[in-house]
Chains A and B, each alone.
Chain A
Amino acid sequence: MSSEVSILLSLAIPLTGALLIALTGRWPNVRETITLLTAVALMLTVWQLFPEVMDGARPAVSLGQMMPGISIAFKVEPLGMLFAALASMLWLVNSVYSIGYMRGNGEKHQTRFYVCFAIALSATMGVAFAENLLTLFLCYEILTLSTYPLVSHKGDPATIRSARTYLGILLGTSIGLFLPAIIWTYQISGTLDFTVGGILTGKMSGPAVGLLLGLFAFGIGKAALMPVHRWLPAAMVAPTPVSALLHAVAVVKAGVFTVTKVIVYIFGVDFLFGQPSSSWLIPTACFTIIAASIVALHQINLKRMLAYSTISQLSYIVLAAAVLKPLAEIGAALHMVSHAFGKITLFFAAGAIYVASKKTELNQLRGIGHRMPWTMTAFTIGAISMIGVPPTAGFVSKWYILGGALQGQHYLVVFTLIASTVLNAAYFLPILYRAWLSKETDPNKLKHGEAPWPMLLALVTTATLTLAFFVYNQPVIDLESQLVGRSK
């Protein structure tokens, strides 16, 4: 199979899957088999591109012109390869989990759920492989729209309100800020292709650079930089598999991925480094990290707390990209992976707790570790990774980001990283303490054990990945070294 075909297939497989799922909706077992098969096929297709990209190849394919001079085109580069590989792998794990969750919970409209999920994954692949900003924008919007039915899944008035916030902020920022930024870029540079070294060098200077960066950073609402973060807590009304894959991995990573790509391939690291007007991004990201952590401290609902933790962790990636040092850029890529593993584990655990015991609030979790040992062990690993303690994935990426910050002598960044570690510990450790060491005080004791086995399988897998990434991360580092122009 040639790599051009692989790129097209990785877009087409989830779409075909969506169609088949819609057609087989009447037979749940067939439908779920198709979901799993689609996920396996997608993962294999995406992963077999990996060795080639690692060797320096950049396979590309174009689908024709959308407007004069701008094509719908796809090209695989290191960062996109990593994102696609990550999302396709976790989709498979998440599909196993979804089946357990949706059945265990007796949810309605399951066919619609799986169809929209598959479409969202196709859009995610499109975002990952887009060769130019316009193609990326197209897929970015499809991703927003295809996740709206997932967020509004429950359909009660509170959910509709939250879904409105979700769609309003994401569409509003993308059309109101992101789109003009893209058009502005096109007018200045005459191209929108992602190019090594950027496309704006020598074409603009002064405060305009800072303004354009602002339009991008806030226009890409999926990166959840404050103050455009409100959609993420709102999205927590969705069923937990959606929160786990989309609002901890695919959608939010699409946001920070786009920000990183804009910084690396549109502005260019060297160009941006020489523009003082762009320096506001680092303090803004630092503020988001600290502020979101403090808000997370005050949450009483588990999923909302995780959402604020995600907002904070996403800004790590924006921050790492904005430090503009090679080590930090690698750190940004690593953190995409490590946060994905850790946070999906945490959401999986939250969903497992909900299915087994219908508990959603933090103060209900006393002693739950003894009832659900597997789940809470995985939760513990995820939490430790969020704090950044070895032997977990979170440590590796934090190490690199810290290294980049010291390289660039950004002491504000160093301070923020330390402060945020303390805050992360402050909101995760009490939960662990409560779950393992407190006694159950629930008056009407519900006898429950672990969640259904597919859910356990999924969360044990991702927890294992979180641990494994601590020791086995060299391929990712090698791949992303190419991003900053170093050969392996």
Chain B
Amino acid sequence: MDSVHLPALQVVVPLLTAPIVAVLRDARLSWLAAVVTSVMTFVVSVYIVQHVLAGAVLSYQMGGWAAPYGIELRVDSLNALMLLVVSGASTLALLAGRQSLTLQIGEERLPLFMAAWLLALAGLVGILVSGDAFNIFVFMEISSLASYILISGGPDRRALPSVFKYLIAGTLGATFYLIGVGMVYMMTGTLNIADMEARLAGVGDTNVVFVAAGFITIGLALKAAIYPMHAWMPNAYTFAPNIVTAFIAACSTKVALYVLLRMDFFVFQKNLVDHESQFTYLLMPLALLGIVFGSVAAVFERNIKRILAFSSVAQIGYILLGASLISVSGFTAAVLHLFNHALAKSALFLAVAAMGLYFARLRLQVLRGAGRKMPWTFAAFVVAGLSLIGVPGTAGFVSKWALISAALESNLVVPLLVLILGSSLLAIVYIGRIVEHLWFGDATDKAVQIGEAPSWMLAMVWLAVAANIWFGLDSSLPMALAQQSAIDLLRQLP
């Protein structure tokens, strides 16, 4: 395939299929169309990763108009890895999710729902491939609006207030980002990220640019659910349809984090005077607080999805912590964890979705003894949980290793180690609690009647688990991309 068109295809495929899926009338057909589209998107990502691994940076001029005047799509090692995560998570969730979606969404609404799904997917990959700050905003809006539909589409009416909260937070975040981009445009006259970086050099010490950087960072932090701006996230994850959670939890906050890293490192870091202090005095403390708060909150939660959602708050803290060390090893750890955490969380939420076929509410009390009735689903959950904890042989271990290595190189060894390891121990506690309830609890009346999840769904859950083990034993692919992006970053550092 001609590699030139790959970045454009990445967005165009889901974006153009979405309206077609919307007019389909058959639920099963619409699901099938969405699966095929998502698989195609994934295949494109795989091609892109192959090219990027070979050392290429893919750049595409929309309509043949040269950057910086035309719209540029640009893929390097950082967003290539993210493309793999997003399209992979969407594909796995869709493949696994037919029964779950039919159950929670209903046959008649499924075609429209699938269209919204593809729009969300298109928006997310669009953010990733854009080499243009304003286009990122456009795709951000597309993906956000579509995700509001996805989250509120389930049978649980409590999803409505939580999605409203998400909408307010998401709109605030996007608006802040837009204000920031507008100010930078005012000072530089460009929206192309690469061009912006070059032109900021002359005006890097002006107040306007400082304020712009502040708006952009805070806006994206809100979208990425960085503590204490995470309040919208746990409920949105909890009350969304189960399969949607598996998709959204694996990628939507991570894509916002990606934009944050892209803007702060590749655009501002070199040009703004004393920009490091933003990491040292703002983002790192927030990351540490998030790690502690997320883990502790997860220990005390009683709904399995909320436990995992608060665990995400902590894991986002890990990623941000790695990045805010401003070193090659730290940034490598952050990118690795973006990838590995997405693997673990999508496997976990898929296993939860399998349980959700039998249980409308996913409180631990209700799920007692369910593990004994669905041993394979339970085993998948346990292995993915081990990956979340960071047990060797799983993907989570690799990024924990990288993060601890980076912390040992920093000048804050002891406090960072204590927090990282302490939070891992808390992960043992909250995963352990789930395991004890699911396996040893006295089966409830409901749990007595159920059986194992459908075998196809089980196969998909185990595929996600297998990915966790594979990338735990051979981390060369994410490691190569993460290191490459960290080296790119180093070149940007003053």
A residues contacting B by CB (< 8 A) are 64-68, 72, 134, 137-138, 141-142, 145, 152, 155, 160, 164, 167-168, 171-172, 175-176, 179-180, 183-184, 186-187
**The residue from B421, B429, B473 contacting A175, defined by CB atoms under 8 A apart:** B421
Cα-based distance from A179 to B405 in the complex (angstroms): 11
Judge whether A168 and B428 touch: CB under 8 Å.
yes
Cα-based distance from A65 to B386 in the complex (angstroms): 21
In the complex formed, the residue of B with least CB distance to A179 is B404
Q: Which residues of B contact A137 (CB under 8 A)?
A: 392
B residues contacting A by CB (< 8 A) are 386, 389-393, 398, 400-401, 404-405, 408-409, 417, 421-422, 424-425, 428-429, 432, 436, 440, 472-476, 479
**The residue from B391, B393, B408 contacting A183, defined by CB atoms under 8 A apart:** B408
The 9 closest A-B CB pairs, nearest first, are: A138-B392, A176-B421, A183-B404, A160-B440, A141-B392, A138-B393, A175-B424, A141-B391, A172-B425
Per DSSP, chain B at the interface is helix
Cα-based distance from A67 to B401 in the complex (angstroms): 10
Whether A180 contacts B417 in the complex (CB less than 8 A), given A137-B392, A138-B392, A155-B440, comes out as yes
Judge whether A145 and B479 touch: CB under 8 Å.
no
Judge whether B479 and A67 touch: CB under 8 Å.
yes
Cα-based distance from A142 to B479 in the complex (angstroms): 24
Judge whether B408 and A184 touch: CB under 8 Å.
yes
- A403 nearest CB across to chain B (Å): 38
Whether A134 contacts B398 in the complex (CB less than 8 A), given A168-B428, A175-B424, A176-B421, comes out as no
Judge whether B440 and A176 touch: CB under 8 Å.
no
In the complex formed, the residue of A with least CB distance to B436 is A160
Judge whether B405 and A175 touch: CB under 8 Å.
no
Q: Which residues of A contact B436 (CB under 8 A)?
A: 160, 164
Q: Which residues of A contact B405 (CB under 8 A)?
A: 183, 186-187
- A287 nearest CB across to chain B (Å): 26
Cα-based distance from A72 to B241 in the complex (angstroms): 40
**The residue from B422, B428, B474 contacting A66, defined by CB atoms under 8 A apart:** B474
In the complex, 12 of the A-B residue pairs with CB atoms within 8 angstroms, ordered by the A residue number, are A66-B475, A137-B392, A141-B391, A167-B432, A168-B429, A171-B389, A171-B428, A172-B425, A176-B421, A180-B408, A183-B408, A186-B405
Q: Which residues of B contact A172 (CB under 8 A)?
A: 425, 428
**The residue from B417, B429, B432, B476 contacting A65, defined by CB atoms under 8 A apart:** B476
Q: Which residues of B contact A168 (CB under 8 A)?
A: 428-429, 432
**The residue from B391, B425, B428, B474 contacting A64, defined by CB atoms under 8 A apart:** B474
- A454 nearest CB across to chain B (Å): 30
Q: Which residues of A contact B424 (CB under 8 A)?
A: 175-176
**The residue from B393, B404, B409, B425 contacting A141, defined by CB atoms under 8 A apart:** B393
Q: Which residues of A contact B417 (CB under 8 A)?
A: 180
In the complex formed, the residue of A with least CB distance to B418 is A176
Q: Which residues of B contact A179 (CB under 8 A)?
A: 400-401, 404, 421
Judge whether B474 and A65 touch: CB under 8 Å.
yes
**The residue from B409, B432, B472 contacting A187, defined by CB atoms under 8 A apart:** B409
- A78 nearest CB across to chain B (Å): 25
Q: Which residues of A contact B401 (CB under 8 A)?
A: 67, 179, 183
In the complex formed, the residue of B with least CB distance to A67 is B475
- B24 nearest CB across to chain A (Å): 44
Q: Which residues of B contact A141 (CB under 8 A)?
A: 391-393
Q: Which residues of B contact A184 (CB under 8 A)?
A: 408
Judge whether B479 and A180 touch: CB under 8 Å.
no
Cα-based distance from A171 to B397 in the complex (angstroms): 13
Judge whether B408 and A176 touch: CB under 8 Å.
no
- B314 nearest CB across to chain A (Å): 15
Cα-based distance from A1 to B94 in the complex (angstroms): 48
**The residue from A66, A145, A152 contacting B391, defined by CB atoms under 8 A apart:** A145
Q: Which residues of B contact A164 (CB under 8 A)?
A: 432, 436
In the complex formed, the residue of A with least CB distance to B421 is A176
Cα-based distance from A171 to B393 in the complex (angstroms): 14
Judge whether B421 and A187 touch: CB under 8 Å.
no
Judge whether B428 and A72 touch: CB under 8 Å.
no
Besides A137-B392, A142-B393, A176-B421, 16 other CB < 8 A contacts? A64-B473, A66-B475, A68-B479, A155-B440, A164-B432, A168-B428, A168-B432, A172-B428, A175-B390, A175-B421, A175-B424, A176-B424, A179-B401, A180-B404, A184-B408, A187-B408
